[in-house]
Amino acid sequence: MFWKIVGGLIVAWVAFMVLGAVIGFVFKAVLWIAIIGGIAFLGAAGYRAISGKKDYKRINRY
């Protein structure tokens, strides 16, 4: 009976370790995708802001 309990605890521990590794990997992957996307967005916005190209389709009232 003792070995069944120890075996069950070991199986539960391994399951939690695998689950934690998978969730940690997914969290890190989503975090890096968000960081790269934010950098790309800021780069595109900065490029558009400093480029000399005028947008004549806009209506400027001032």
pLDDT of residue 43: 94
The token pair at 16 is: 């939690």
Give the list of residues 6+ apart from residue 27 with CB closer than 8 angstroms, or none: none
Residue environment code for 23-61, b if the CB has 16+ CB neighbours within 10 A, otherwise e: eeeeeeeeeeeeeeeeeeeeeeeeeeeeeeeeeeeeeee
pLDDT digits (tens, 9 = 90+) for 3-55: 999 999 999 999 999 999 999 999 999 999 999 999 999 999 988 888 866 65
Choice between 57 and 43, residue whose per-residue pLDDT is larger: 43
Q: Where are the domains of the chain?
A: 1-46
**In the predicted structure, residue 62 carries a pLDDT above the cut 60:** no
